[in-house]
Homo-oligomer: A and B are copies of this chain.
């Protein structure tokens, strides 16, 4: 199956009408597992869709997360980013380089859809780790040994 088809199917399954922009944005998410911000998606797709606007990217990513076709990640205090993978997994945020990294080996809490806790209905779970990533930790050691 081509990546266009995968993106198309995902939108249909999520109940999102597949416009050209939405398809391109979903495809971008599915090909870039780097937790892109709105700006990243915008920049990444501008060459392909020169008329694309930031507003559309904002609207679309929000729509995706509302339809569980993507997850919104608020691990970075400064900006929101998105993940095309909606399977539960842990995210790690490096306070130095500001990257968001997947931690597939860590156990993630499973989401029971519409779980009820004292009347509060939970439909989304996010587990965030924060700290310093390998690369940045390495750099720090090198710098300090000078």
Task: Show the binding face of A for B, using Cβ within 8 Å.
Answer: 72, 74-77, 80, 92, 94, 101, 103, 105-106, 109, 114, 117-134, 137-138
Contacts and interface: CB of A to CB of B under 8 A. Distances in A.
A103 B137 CA distance: 33
Contacts of A138: 119
**Chain copies in complex:** 2
A125 B122 contact: no
A131 B127 contact: no
13 contacts: A72-B77, A101-B120, A105-B118, A114-B131, A117-B129, A120-B129, A120-B131, A120-B133, A121-B131, A122-B129, A122-B131, A123-B132, A125-B130
Nearest to A92: B120
Contact of A131 (B124, B128, B131): B124
A51 B20 CA distance: 53
A115 B71 CA distance: 26
A132 B122 CA distance: 7
Going nearest first, the 10 A-B pairs with the smallest beta carbon separation are: A119-B134, A124-B130, A122-B131, A126-B128, A123-B131, A121-B131, A122-B129, A121-B132, A74-B74, A120-B133
